[in-house]
Amino acid sequence: MELPKTTVHVPEGLSVATLAGGCFWCLEAVYEKLIGVEKVISGYAGGHRPNPTYQQIGTGVTGHAEVVQIFYNEKEISYEEILTVFWTIHDPTTPNRQGNDKGPQYRSAIFVHNELQKEIATQSMKTVATQIWEAPIVTELNEFSNFYTAEDYHQGYFERVGNQNPYCTVVVSPKVQKFKKLFKNKLKQQN
C-alpha cells in the first residue's frame, strides 16, 4: 500500500529530522532544550490515513507513529548528534512499546528525508545504539512519506503541564533529567 505523501517546509538555513521514540511528549521535552534545535513539532508520521487524530492513531490501526519533527541548525548540531540523543533517551530494543505505552504508535523509528540521513542513521544504529543497548535494536528505518501535526494541546506539553500530569512525573521527567545529566554541555542556556 502506498502511503499518503506530505511535504515539509524547511526554513532556509535549517535541516529537519523526524523521529519516533514512544510518546512524543518525551522527545519534544528533550529536543527543545538542545543547542542548535530551533523548533520541535509533535505529530504523526508513517501511516496510511491522511490527517489522523490522536484518538485514531491511539487505536493502532492507522499505521502512524507518534513522532517529533526537529528543525535544527547544522552549524550548531549535527544529525549524528541528534541521533545520539535519540538512542539515549528511549529504548530502541522493544518493538511497538516504550515502557507501559504499547502499540505500533509507540514504535521506535527514524524517518529519513534523504540518502545522506539514511547512511548516517544506518551507521549510527550499528555503532552508537549498539554501544548503549545490549539487546538487538528494533528501530525501523523508513523513508519519510508523511507528517501530520498533532493537536495544539500536544505542542509544548511537558513545558506547559510538567509534573501536574502524573504521566509526566513518572515517564517524561526522568527522561528529561537523564538527558540533562548526560548532555549538560549541549543544553540551551536557561532563562
pLDDT, tens digit, for every residue of 68-112?
999 999 999 999 999 999 999 999 999 999 988 999 999 999 999
Q: Is residue 115 part of a domain?
A: yes
Q: Is residue 60 part of a domain?
A: yes
Structurally, the chain folds into a number of domains equal to 1
Q: Which three cell numbers stand for residue 113?
A: 528525508
More confident residue, 163 or 44: 44
Catalytic residue ranges? 23
- Name the band, by pLDDT with cuts 50, 70 and 90, for residue 189: confident
Q: Is residue 144 part of a domain?
A: yes
State mean pLDDT over 144-172.
92
Q: Is residue 4 part of a domain?
A: no
* pLDDT above 70 for 132: yes
Q: In which domain, by residue range, is 53 found?
A: 15-177
Q: Is residue 186 part of a domain?
A: no
DSSP H helices, the chain, are 24-31, 54-57, 79-89, 115-124, 130-132, 157-161, 166-167, 173-182
Q: Is residue 69 part of a domain?
A: yes
Whole-model pTM above 0.85?
yes
Please say whether the beta carbons of 13 and 30 come within 8 A.
Answer: no
* pLDDT above 80 for 1: no
What angle in degrees, to the nearest 10, is found between the helix axes of 79-89 and 24-31? 130
d(CA 191, CA 180): 15
Q: What is the pLDDT of residue 58?
A: 93
Q: Is residue 7 part of a domain?
A: no
Q: Is residue 116 part of a domain?
A: yes
* pLDDT above 60 for 191: no
- Name the band, by pLDDT with cuts 50, 70 and 90, for residue 190: low
* pLDDT above 90 for 165: no
Give me the CATH number covering residue 83. Answer: 3.30.1060.10
Q: Which three cell numbers stand for residue 7?
A: 511535504
